[in-house]
Structure 1
Amino acid sequence: MKKTLALATLLAGLSAPAMAGTLTVCLEGAPETFNPQLTSSGTTSTVLGQIYDGLVAVERGGSQIEPALAESWDVSEDGRTYTFHLRQGVKWQTTSDFTPSREFNADDVIFTFERMLDADHAYNKVNGGNYITFNTKLADALESVEKIDDHTVAFTLKEALAPFTGIMAHGSLKITSAEYAEQLLEAGTPELFDRNPVGTGPFQLQAYQTDAVVRLLPFAQTWGAEQNIAENTPMVDAIIMAISADASVRVQRALAGECQIAFYPNLADAPLIEQSENLDLVVAKVASSGFITFNFKMEKFQDIRVRQALAHAINMEPLVEVVFNGMGHVTGAVVPPAFWGHADDLAPYAYDPEKAKQLLADAGFADGFETQLWAVPVARPYMPNGRRAAEMIQADWAEIGVKAEIVTYEWAEYIQRARAFEAEVGMFGGIYDFPDPSQIPNNYFTCNSEGTPSPSNIGAWCNEEFISVMAEAGAITDQEKRAELYLKAQHILYDDVPAVMFGGADQLMAVSKDVKGFAPAIFGTSRMSGVTTD
């Protein structure tokens, strides 16, 4: 009750609590940054997806790529050059620190990508310059970004890349303002560019109270409103996004009417939501993959026998049954079953404690060893209860003499530390942002041409054969051949045991019956434009 009252007090301090015209949303974590280029976190994208637009987007509630800031695009015969024709009349948001003098144009697209592409760019190193998705998916593939005229931009690839338009729909490749960046650079405060956002989206930031609440106001001149596109038009007077890592608290706030949309309730709370007179249980069949990874920077995990032992020591079927509350599926494949290219012949590693003990003994650990096991602190479709999963793994490993200390942090810190390779055994995962099976394997298990792990490859596993197969699959357009290559890649990962896959489940949301027009995203971010409240 104290937590519920605390939220009510906080909302009252910012504005009137939930009423007609105000949409209240309960989030599971805080945004890491206010520039999409610097994050691949789904939680952060939920916030930033309201503020920024990309050249293209995934259709609301579906899987098709559709126009956004680009009205259309052409592809060259060799599949290497994509020419985007930009939407005209798009306005930038005005803030207390910035008043735009022009509309969106090709200069903004060039600035956005050159910041990430050019190591000598004035903004490249600002605020760390860690462009997670770009570095993983495009840095090695993109040859150039060229302005043809004020409303036309050409992207040329070094070789054909089948999922390119899907990648361009990713939440971290939104377009930012070149004029705003130049103004801050001249003022000597470029670091503010990633903290005080300016976008073209349906909402803009009014206030952020760290780890507590984000408040957004409608951007009345957003292109969706000006061009009469209802689903891209803000239809509420404000959005209040309250942050709470506790899934039960989010559900209680929804039941109390304090949150009209509550993300990621506990799966066990589904009946409670269904029985409510005021809430609907909304199910989104998202594609996601979750796993634990072994840190290859540590000598003991470089021995495949150790990794195999820990994999065979986990009793995965009851773990998935308990943690996913009977709604999950077990798998040994990194590509989820919702996708073509899923390796349905890969089951979880067989539960065999005696085999695990023998493998440890063969590796020189007959008496076991101590390690840390990190637990995801937020509920996600790929891991609805990280603490409970970690506890069950901890108990399984104790049976073979491995003592695991469970470690966790607040979500933003967890991500930062995991990407700094601090996790001995890290729990991680991702939700697909676009409809192509390459996303999660590329993000979490590849390394670039210099041998540097992709930012989300928290176990630092760099397998040349796996990387080569994934690259080959991305360079061709024949879906049947691509599927064969993804099957091969999944078997390479499975056999080398850099990670142990969990199952997956649908994404649940608690949504007030007063909310109209809300369509949860299957890929990418759920947008609040086009949403109304009674």
Structure 2
Amino acid sequence: MRRLTLWMQSLAGLSSACFAAVTLAAATPAANHDSVKTHPAPSSMATHDVRQSGFVYCVNGMVNTFNPQKASSGVIIDTLAAQLYDRLLDVDPYTYRLIPQLAQSWEVLDNGATYRFHLRKDVPFQTTPWFTPTRMMNADDVVFSIERVIDDNNHYHNVNGSDYPYFDSLQFAKTVKSVRKIDDYTVEFKLNNPDASFLWHLATHYAPVLSAEYADKLQKSGNEEQIDRQPVGTGPFQLSGFRAGQYVRLARNGKYWKGVPRMQQVVIDMGVGGTGRLSKLLTGECDVLAYPAASQLSILRDDPRLRLTLRPGMNVAYLAFNTGKPPLDDARVREAIALAINNQRLMQSIYYGTAETAASVLPRASWAYDSNAKVTEYNPAKARQILDSLGKKDLVLHLWVPIISQSYNPSPLKTAELIQADLAQVGIKVIIVPVEGRFQEARLMEMNHDLTLSGWSTDSNDPDSFFRPVLSCAAIRSQTNYAHWCSPEFDALLHQALLSQQLSQRIDYYQQAQAILEKQLPVLPLASSLRLQAYRYDIKGLVLSPFGNSSFAGVYRDSNGINNDASDEGPVVVEKKP
């Protein structure tokens, strides 16, 4: 309950009059000379005005924080982080390799126990109505960003709560022995043990580089909580407007270190779900539709005004069993439930050919995927036999279901209904409990649920980014392990995999870990989904990554070959060479 109270206090702060003042005109003096003003919601804006200088990106979700460090999933990770912030490293969406971002280069020393990063010079932080930087990004900012997460004594560690879900699930504070500034553009991390996944975790959107100078300013004025509500990053866009549950407006960062973004503004429209978003795309109120329902694909494919991008995704949808609560603390009951679920029907009715039935928590695209893993068979007769032998008749289970579509599950409620019907055939009554957003996370931690539909997606190609956040013992405390399952044997294998720099040895450890999951079944993998994105024909430059949404810096509008960029700032540069 303490976590829920803290979150509600934080949300109240987001919606307060203080935060509402963030509905500002654009961001940098170079981009816009208007004074502070309030923007109407996208539904009441003239779509034509937005289309002249930007685009509308429609996604179903909600924003609880503007700091990815404090989030476990959602719009901030899937969409906003890549616009507001940069990280030390990035992942190439085509080769799946680590590439430089704010770090120009790096060295791995001491067999993977020391990492040294050499930073780019001349990278400015955003100039916003609430902060004007006086220096470029440097090592102080990297050290501050990491120490806030790992150091209990850091002044900002407990600001807006002490939870950093992704890093807490990795026990990151125990991994990093120290982070120190060697000089203005060199940072060194020393780890307590070698960690082969370390670079990948720094490449995720959960690891933004924040401004230490901005943090100092807020501390002096006593407004530290604003660091997560009025963001300052080095990314291509910056916050210029927000209305909870409706929209986020972004203005381009005219001083972006890679070159001026091609669009002056982006509106993230979160106000309409389901078929309403599709209608907006068809009428032109949306230019881009994130995660369209698979059932809508035929409409999208047949409309000549639209384009559709599909890519393999690093994600998995799963059914989590509350292993800390009878009767689901018995692996045999979990097996019976798994046998009763018709996976093939889920594929046909939910994904329409845009996913494959998952045999493992790891997607097939992962280099550690166990090709011998088998999809759980559909065998209701065997399920009934197991339940009868255990004397488990007339079970009543509560299934908690998020109401918002996700990249890994476009129709959670419909999925729940199909599972409900399957389990009824073996004598299990399922009561569906719809939940929303962070209330789901908070209430799941109270241990009252029996089952929950969930999933995981990550912008990392390292298996550690799947296993530890979802199923490690530490992930129970960080509120990302909905199964409440803790296996010291499983955790030990994950730890051994991190100590080795040999890929073949790491693969062996991860396949042993997958064998444990197959036997104990704390979660039932359901599907690995393609990432889908639909957009108007005149939108160009969108990159759909298997790891999450990429920067919008190169997106532009090109009607009949004409670029309608309204910039008066001279030649537009999409990306400068490092």
Interval containing the TM-score (normalised by the shorter chain): over 0.9
Is 1:103 the counterpart of 2:136 in the alignment?
yes
CA contact (8 A) 1:293 1:500 kept: yes
Gaps of 5+ in 2: 1-39, 559-578
Indicate the residue corresponding to 1:283 in structure 2. Answer: 310
Give the counterpart letter for 2:100 in structure 1: P
CA contact (8 A) 2:408 2:456 kept: yes
* Match among 165, 169, 177 for residue 132 of structure 1: 165
* Match among 486, 492, 517 for residue 510 of structure 2: 486
Distance 1:175 1:417 in 2: 31
Give the counterpart letter for 1:87 in structure 2: R
After superposition, the C-alpha distances for 1:334-381 in whole angstroms (9 at most, x for unaligned) are: 111112221232223222323323333444422x22221122323334
* Match among 471, 494, 517 for residue 495 of structure 2: 471
CA contact (8 A) 1:251 1:510 kept: no
**Which range moved further: 455-464 or 419-428?**
419-428
Is 1:55 the counterpart of 2:126 in the alignment?
no
Distance 1:297 1:72 in 2: 45
Is 1:320 the counterpart of 2:353 in the alignment?
no
Give the counterpart letter for 1:390 in structure 2: A
Is 1:371 the counterpart of 2:397 in the alignment?
yes
Q: CA deviation at 1:389?
A: 1.0
Indicate the residue corresponding to 1:252 in structure 2. Answer: 279
CA contact (8 A) 1:159 1:475 kept: yes
Indicate the residue corresponding to 2:484 in structure 1. Answer: 460
* Match among 36, 39, 60 for residue 28 of structure 1: 60
Change (3 A) 1:248 1:61: farther
* Match among 413, 416, 428 for residue 390 of structure 1: 416
Q: CA deviation at 1:382?
A: 2.2
CA contact (8 A) 1:30 1:411 kept: yes
CA contact (8 A) 1:85 1:151 kept: yes
Indicate the residue corresponding to 2:114 in structure 1. Answer: 81
Change (3 A) 1:346 1:376: farther
**Which range moved further: 14-23 or 466-475?**
14-23
After superposition, the C-alpha distances for 1:464-522 in whole angstroms (9 at most, x for unaligned) are: 11111111112212212211221111110110011111022211111111111111112
Indicate the residue corresponding to 1:38 in structure 2. Answer: 70
Change (3 A) 1:202 1:327: closer
Change (3 A) 1:37 1:9: closer
* Match among 460, 463, 482 for residue 437 of structure 1: 463
Q: Output the TM-score relative to the length of structure 2.
A: 0.85
Indicate the residue corresponding to 1:153 in structure 2. Answer: 187
After superposition, the C-alpha distances for 1:434-475 in whole angstroms (9 at most, x for unaligned) are: 122221112101123xx9544311111111111111111122
* Match among 205, 212, 234 for residue 178 of structure 1: 212
Q: CA deviation at 1:155?
A: 0.8
Give the 3-state SS of the residue equivalent to 2:286 in structure 1: coil
CA contact (8 A) 1:423 1:458 kept: no
Change (3 A) 1:98 1:422: farther
Distance 2:207 2:45 in 1: 34
Is 1:348 the counterpart of 2:381 in the alignment?
no
Indicate the residue corresponding to 1:198 in structure 2. Answer: 232
Indicate the residue corresponding to 1:514 in structure 2. Answer: 538
CA contact (8 A) 2:61 2:74 kept: no
Q: CA deviation at 1:9?
A: 6.8
Indicate the residue corresponding to 2:320 in structure 1. Answer: 293
Give the 3-state SS of the residue equivalent to 1:49 in structure 2: helix
Give the counterpart letter for 1:271 in structure 2: S
Change (3 A) 1:165 1:43: same
Distance 2:122 2:533 in 1: 35
Indicate the residue corresponding to 1:4 in structure 2. Answer: none
Indicate the residue corresponding to 1:264 in structure 2. Answer: 291
Give the counterpart letter for 1:248 in structure 2: T
CA contact (8 A) 1:30 1:412 kept: no
Give the counterpart letter for 2:148 in structure 1: R
CA contact (8 A) 2:316 2:358 kept: no
CA contact (8 A) 1:335 1:437 kept: yes
* Match among 239, 244, 250 for residue 216 of structure 1: 250
Change (3 A) 1:35 1:159: same
CA contact (8 A) 1:62 1:522 kept: no
After superposition, the C-alpha distances for 1:305-349 in whole angstroms (9 at most, x for unaligned) are: 221221122122222222111332223211111122212322232
CA contact (8 A) 2:323 2:330 kept: no
Q: CA deviation at 1:14?
A: 8.4
Give the 3-state SS of the residue equivalent to 1:349 in structure 2: coil
Give the 3-state SS of the residue equivalent to 1:170 in structure 2: coil
CA contact (8 A) 1:443 1:455 kept: no
CA contact (8 A) 1:18 1:258 kept: no
Indicate the residue corresponding to 1:10 in structure 2. Answer: 42
Q: CA deviation at 1:103?
A: 1.6
Q: CA deviation at 1:422?
A: 4.8
Q: CA deviation at 1:204?
A: 0.4
Q: CA deviation at 1:423?
A: 3.5
**Which range moved further: 505-514 or 380-389?**
380-389
* Match among 489, 499, 520 for residue 496 of structure 1: 520
Change (3 A) 1:17 1:439: same
CA contact (8 A) 1:144 1:156 kept: yes
Give the counterpart letter for 2:303 in structure 1: S
* Match among 424, 430, 440 for residue 404 of structure 1: 430
Distance 2:445 2:401 in 1: 14
Give the counterpart letter for 2:269 in structure 1: A
Give the 3-state SS of the residue equivalent to 1:57 in structure 2: strand
Is 1:238 the counterpart of 2:265 in the alignment?
yes
Indicate the residue corresponding to 2:331 in structure 1. Answer: 304
After superposition, the C-alpha distances for 1:380-438 in whole angstroms (9 at most, x for unaligned) are: 34212111111011011112222111122233433444455453211111123112222
Give the 3-state SS of the residue equivalent to 1:20 in structure 2: helix
CA contact (8 A) 1:245 1:378 kept: no
Change (3 A) 1:245 1:462: farther
CA contact (8 A) 1:444 1:454 kept: no
After superposition, the C-alpha distances for 1:197-217 in whole angstroms (9 at most, x for unaligned) are: 111111000111101000000
Percent of paired sites with the same residue: 33
Distance 1:59 1:338 in 2: 15
After superposition, the C-alpha distances for 1:109-144 in whole angstroms (9 at most, x for unaligned) are: 111111111112211111112111222232332111
